Amino acid sequence: MRARVYQPRPVEEIPLYRGVGEAWHTLKYQQDNMLVATRTTNVPGVVGRLRQIIELTDHQAAAIGQTIERHITEGRQAFRATPYYLRLMAANPFAPEYNGQAVEGIDPIFLQAVPTPADFHFPDAGHHGAMAEESRSIGAVYQRYWDRVAFFVANNESCPVRCKHCQRGNSLDAAKDISNRDIELGLAYIRDNPNIEEVLVTGGDALNAGSRLGYVLEQLSRIDHIETLRIATRLPVTLPMGVTDQVLDTIVQKSGEKTVYFVTHANHPHEITEEFAAAAYRITSRGFRLRNQTVLLRHVNDDPATLTQLFKGLFNAGVDPYYLFQCHNESGISHLITPLQQGQLLMRLVQGTRGTTLPKFRMNAAGGAGKVNCEPSGVGEELSDLEVLGGSQRVLHGWDSRIHHRVEELGAATSAQFKASVSAMRAFGWDDYRPCVILRDRGDKVTNLGGLKKLERLLEEKRQKERATKLGFQEPHITNPATEWVH
Ligand code: SF4
């Protein structure tokens, strides 16, 4: 295994897990010791245990507790995370150090997993359920393209980590688990629609669907017009011990002659660990292809060095970087969303890295447009043509030839909401908190576009040097005689 992996803190250095020994590596220990906050949970107890994993001031702990309580009151899955995933965090997520090196910003795992007061700062921004999955075609099935359906086989609580940026947030929060009747309706729908060639088997987390996964795969394997089964799972990232030989053997046995491939979801190089690489190997060594979808998240991975490291780490662990997604405009995550132009600049900046490590940049657009190509063209186009800075009123071309207007990738707020949010989060301890939102009372001005200027400068440097030295490469000796043609 050649993947360069992240080494998290030793388990023994984390007070909550001290003395666990070899049990740490077992699925049972990880499942029995998840931190979970639900309606029946003692929230102060959960926050107390979190404080034995990461350093939190009294103010931070109280604010996180209040945020969790509010999520619960409003009917959301507030917080759920495995010991494995929580260990990936720096001891102090607000002043992180990794292997003795201090790094600016907030810990990227903390931002993906732990509720913060920012979740409620822009109440008018975004949509609950940007994927609109309540409009499932029938039963457990949702058809978005003419030849593909998503099949929701796993319960709402099957995800070992409740990711802050989840695009399925609304359906996961709805406490409407998929019933056996939904499963049968979905199977009947697929049997009756010979245009369906591929089924995305998903959840929640499909690998955590228990016996239902084998049942559904077996039924699908008997349908002639189904060619491909895609298994969606974040377990390699959030609970790699859950990628067991047993579940993989079930998939081999039940999927018959169908082509099966897996898609997982890593967003940061710190998620590429020895355990991740081992889980990926267990999947690929059975002959399954394994791809990754990354969501572009502000403060988590919105810089070229982080993305390049992530994509290379994935590739070297046997996982193909497949998509980089523009984060959807879900409510409660405005502070994690980047302007579309940032993704386009980032794609320009990582251009030149090995093509095998480069994903496609797409937006999974609400409103049925499906995956929309967001990549900047490499031909005859300058950045100024990329028509983005307004942040709204974009025209999208969907897969079905329909044109979708008024797609806003950023959240919107008033100036007062924005100022209050920045001030509250600075008091919370997040010094570089700078959400990028559209200010409705300031003529739709978009805040904090300074990051784009920085990326544009980086791009200019890259152009001048022909190679992106900021990505950590040495200045190469370019011997290609064709460079004489470059002016
Ligand atoms: S694992 Fe996927 S479906 Fe589950 S909460 Fe995270 S992003 Fe959502």
Among candidate residues 280, 213, 286, the one with its CA nearest the CA of residue 247: 213
One-letter amino acid for residue 256 of the chain? G
Q: What is the CB neighbour count within 10 angstroms for residue 101? A: 7
Q: Which residue among 158, 166, 328 has the greatest number of ligand 1 atoms within 8 angstroms of its CB, and so is best to mutate?
A: 166
Ligand 1 and 164: CB distance under 6 A: no
**pLDDT higher than threshold 50 for residue 389:** no
Q: Rounded to whole angstroms, what are the CA distances from 12 to 19, 20, 343, 368, 460?
A: 7, 8, 39, 48, 46
State the DSSP H helix or E strand holding residue 324, giving kind and residue range, or none if neither: strand 320-326
pLDDT digits (tens, 9 = 90+) for 424-471: 999 999 999 999 998 989 988 889 887 788 888 888 887 776 554 545
Ligand 1 and 270: CB distance under 6 A: no
Ligand 1 and 237: CB distance under 6 A: no
Query: What is this structure's pTM?
Result: 0.91
Instruction: Quote the mean pLDDT of the chain.
Output: 88
Domain extents in the chain: 11-114, 133-413
Ligand 1 and 205: CB distance under 6 A: yes
pLDDT digits (tens, 9 = 90+) for 103-119: 999 999 999 999 999 99
One-letter amino acid for residue 333 of the chain? I
Residue scoring higher pLDDT (172 or 374): 374
pLDDT digits (tens, 9 = 90+) for 231-249: 999 999 999 999 999 999 9
pLDDT digits (tens, 9 = 90+) for 343-365: 989 999 998 888 999 999 998 87
pLDDT digits (tens, 9 = 90+) for 276-299: 999 999 999 999 999 999 999 999
pLDDT digits (tens, 9 = 90+) for 203-235: 889 999 999 999 999 999 999 999 999 999 999
Ligand 1 and 80: CB distance under 6 A: no
Give residue 261 CA to ligand 1 midpoint distance, Å: 18
Answer for the pair 66, 44: CB distance below 8 angstroms, yes or no: no
What's the pLDDT score for residue 446? 87
- Rounded average pLDDT over 252-266: 98
One-letter amino acid for residue 225 of the chain? H
Among candidate residues 388, 234, 401, 413, the one with its CA nearest the CA of residue 335: 413
Q: In ligand 1, which atom is closest to the CA atom of 202?
A: 3
What's the pLDDT score for residue 311? 97
Ligand 1 and 462: CB distance under 6 A: no
Residue scoring higher pLDDT (450 or 195): 195
What's the pLDDT score for residue 387? 46
Q: Which residue among 205, 231, 267 has the greatest number of ligand 1 atoms within 8 angstroms of its CB, and so is best to mutate?
A: 205
Residue scoring higher pLDDT (388 or 172): 172
pLDDT band with cut points at 50, 70 and 90 for residue 178 = confident
Percentage of the chain with pLDDT > 70? 84
- Rounded average pLDDT over 81-96: 98
Q: In ligand 1, which atom is closest to the CA atom of 203?
A: 3
pLDDT digits (tens, 9 = 90+) for 318-343: 999 999 999 988 889 999 999 888 99
pLDDT band with cut points at 50, 70 and 90 for residue 398 = low
Answer for the pair 369, 399: CB distance below 8 angstroms, yes or no: yes
Ligand 1 and 163: CB distance under 6 A: yes
Ligand 1 and 159: CB distance under 6 A: yes
pLDDT band with cut points at 50, 70 and 90 for residue 272 = very high
Q: In ligand 1, which atom is closest to the CA atom of 168?
A: 8
What's the pLDDT score for residue 475? 56
What's the pLDDT score for residue 203? 85
3-state helix, strand, coil in the chain (%, to 5): 40, 15, 40
**pLDDT higher than threshold 60 for residue 1:** no
Crossing angle of helices 180-191 and 211-221, in 10° steps, is: 20
Atom 7 of ligand 1: nearest residue by CA position: 166
State the DSSP H helix or E strand holding residue 260, giving kind and residue range, or none if neither: strand 259-264
Give residue 168 CA to ligand 1 midpoint distance, Å: 7
Atom 8 of ligand 1: nearest residue by CA position: 166
- Rounded average pLDDT over 47-64: 98
**pLDDT higher than threshold 60 for residue 487:** no
What's the pLDDT score for residue 380? 57
**pLDDT higher than threshold 80 for residue 24:** yes
**Helix residue ranges, H only, 222-273:** 235-238, 245-254
**pLDDT higher than threshold 50 for residue 391:** no
CA distance 154 to 159: 9
Tokens (6 digits) for 234: 């974040």
State the architecture of 133-413 in CATH terms.
Answer: Alpha-Beta Barrel (3.20)
Atom 6 of ligand 1: nearest residue by CA position: 163
Task: Determine if the peptide bond prior to 126 is cis (ω within 30°).
Answer: no
What's the pLDDT score for residue 209? 93
Q: Which residue among 164, 265, 296, 300 has the greatest number of ligand 1 atoms within 8 angstroms of its CB, and so is best to mutate?
A: 265
Ligand 1 and 166: CB distance under 6 A: yes
Q: In ligand 1, which atom is closest to the CA atom of 295?
A: 7
Ligand 1 and 168: CB distance under 6 A: yes
